[in-house]
Amino acid sequence: MQWLASTDTLWWHDSADPRAVSQAMRNGAVGMTTNPFLMASTLTDLTAGWAELLGDYTALSGDEKALELEMRVGARHAATFRQFWGVGRRGGGGVCVQVNPAKLGNAALMIQQVKKIGPLAPNICVKTPATRAGLIAFEEGVALGYNMVSTLSFTVAQCVAAAEAYERGAARARERGIVPGFGAAVMMVGRLDDYIRDVVADGERDIPESSIMQSGLACIKKAYKIFKERGYDTMLMSAAARGIHHITELAGANIIMSIAPSIERKVLEANPEQVERADVSIDSAVIEQLLMLKEFEKAYDQNGLDVGDFITYGPLNRTATQFIEKGWNILLNV
Summarised one tens digit per residue, pLDDT across range 79-92 is 999 999 999 889 99
Q: For residue 48, what pLDDT is reported?
A: 63
Nearest C-alpha neighbor of 123 from the set 259, 31, 11, 234: 31
HEC string of the chain equals: CHHHHHCCCEEEEECCCHHHHHHHHHCCCCCEECCHHHHHHHHCCHHHCCHHHHCCCCCCCHHHHHHHHHHHHHHHHHHHHHHHCCCCCCCCCCEEEECCCCCCCCHHHHHHHHHHHHHHCCCEEEEEECCHHHHHHHHHHHHCCCEEEEECCCCHHHHHHHHHHHHHHHHHHHHCCCCCCCEEEEEEHHHHHHHHHHHHHHHCCCCCHHHHCCHHHHHHHHHHHHHHHHCCCCEEEEECCCCCHHHHCCCCCCCEEEECHHHHHHHHHHCCCCCCCCCCCCCHHHHHHHCCCHHHHHHHCCCCCCHHHHHHCHHHHHHHHHHHHHHHHHHCCC
Round to whole Å and give the CA distance between 49 and 52.
7
DSSP-assigned beta bridge partners for residue 161: none
pLDDT value at position 334? 80
The parts of the chain modelled with pLDDT lower than 70 are 46-48, 57-58
Q: State residue 161's pLDDT score.
A: 98
Amino acid at 171: A
pLDDT of residue 289: 97
Query: Residue 46's pLDDT is what?
Result: 61
- Going 14 to 168 to 132 to 121, the CA torsion angle's sign is positive
Instruction: Quote the distance between the C-alpha of residue 105 and its chain's center.
Output: 19
CA distances for 299 relative to 81, 86, 111, 139, 193, angstroms:
33, 33, 27, 22, 11
- The rounded distance, in Å, linking the Cα atoms of 265 and 308 is 39
What pLDDT is recorded for position 198?
A: 98
pLDDT of residue 89: 87
Whole-prediction pTM value? 0.97
- Give yes or no for a contact between 154 and 315, defined as CB atoms under 8 angstroms apart: yes
Q: Which domains does the chain have, with CATH numbers?
A: 6-331 (3.20.20.70)
**Residue 319 CB neighbour total at 10 angstroms:** 23
Closest of 279, 243, 285, 250 to residue 264, by C-alpha: 243
- Tens of pLDDT, residue by residue over 36-69, are 999 999 888 766 677 777 777 667 789 999 999 9
